[in-house]
Homo-oligomer: A and B are copies of this chain.
Amino acid sequence: MTSLSIGQLAEQAGVAIDTVRYYERNDLLTPAGRLASGYRRYGTTELKRLRFIRRAKALGFSLDDIRALLALSDERDVAEVKRAAQRKLADIELRIAELERIRGGLHTLIAACPGHGRAEACPILNALTQEESA
């Protein structure tokens, strides 16, 4: 039989036990049942669900996002799932653009800095000290 303890579930999904209980508190994952002792029991459904959560997190979804995704996948609403993925993609692209802006700024400063000599000649310090230019 494929009944798992919380420790086995956690190990097979690659998360910490405390994380499983945390997800339960936050309505992301409910045990299939409990033993008379109160011990949680999980089946393959829960294992898949937990792995889904882990992968979605790796794709940059927040737990709120994931709760919504899980509800949608329960409803099998493919169109809405696709739209959610598109929104997340747009969000990721914004974050990339912002980091690229920062990278450009740093790159320029580093390239222009001789790396020795007077502080006044260091464009990094100057850039950080300079007045606004819009």
Residues of A whose CB lies within 8 Å of any CB of B are 48, 51-52, 55-56, 58-60, 69, 73, 76, 78-79, 81-82, 85-86, 88-89, 92-93, 95-96, 99-100, 102-103, 105-107, 109-110, 113-119, 121-122, 124-125, 127-129, 132
Contacts and interface: CB of A to CB of B under 8 A. Distances in A.
Contact of A86 (B55, B56, B60, B110): B110
For this chain, the copies found in one complex come to: 2
Given A55-B127, A79-B115, A82-B122, 17 more contacts: A52-B128, A60-B99, A69-B128, A73-B125, A78-B116, A78-B117, A78-B118, A78-B121, A78-B125, A85-B124, A89-B103, A92-B103, A95-B99, A96-B96, A96-B99, A96-B100, A99-B99
